[in-house]
């Protein structure tokens, strides 16, 4: 069952609990949703990157099928499910500065300088 974490900046992170683990962790007096939320507090305590996030339960059908746009995922205004927000810009490549230097390198010396930065 997916847990969607709505982060303070509006971004979304996901955690999936495998059905077998969920069945094993479920207490007799709990519903599935209660078990998932209880496990979510444990997961959040062990995962520093989830600090400040608020857990929401969603079904797999309420998640976008295309995971390549995860940086654009946001909570649906209706409160149920996740949507892809096309207004969010694509983040730059982590090594964009090096790629730019490589593209503008015109001499062997320029290429050597870029290679030295890559190897550092």
Residue pLDDT, tens place only, 41-81? 999 999 999 999 999 988 889 999 999 999 999 998 888 88
Q: Would you state the pLDDT for residue 69?
A: 92
Distances 31 to 34, 101, 111, 115 between C-alpha atoms, Å:
5, 56, 61, 57
**Percentage of residues of the chain with pLDDT beyond 70:** 100
Residue 1 reports pLDDT greater than 80: no
Which residues contact residue 73 at a Cβ distance below 8 angstroms, ignoring those fewer than 6 apart? 11, 12, 64, 82, 83, 84, 85
């Amino acid at each position: 069952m997916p847990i969607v974490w709505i982060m303070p900046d509006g971004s979304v992170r996901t955690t999936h609990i495998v059905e077998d683990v969920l069945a094993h962790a479920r207490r007799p007096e709990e519903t599935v949703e209660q078990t998932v939320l209880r496990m979510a507090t444990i997961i959040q305590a062990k995962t520093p990157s989830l600090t400040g996030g608020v857990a929401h339960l969603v079904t797999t059908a309420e998640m976008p099928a295309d995971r390549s746009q995860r940086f654009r995922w946001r909570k649906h205004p209706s409160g149920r499910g996740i949507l892809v927000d096309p207004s969010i810009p694509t983040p730059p490549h982590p090594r964009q500065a090096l790629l730019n230097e490589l593209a503008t390198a015109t001499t062997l010396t320029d290429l050597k300088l870029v290679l030295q930065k890559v190897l550092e």
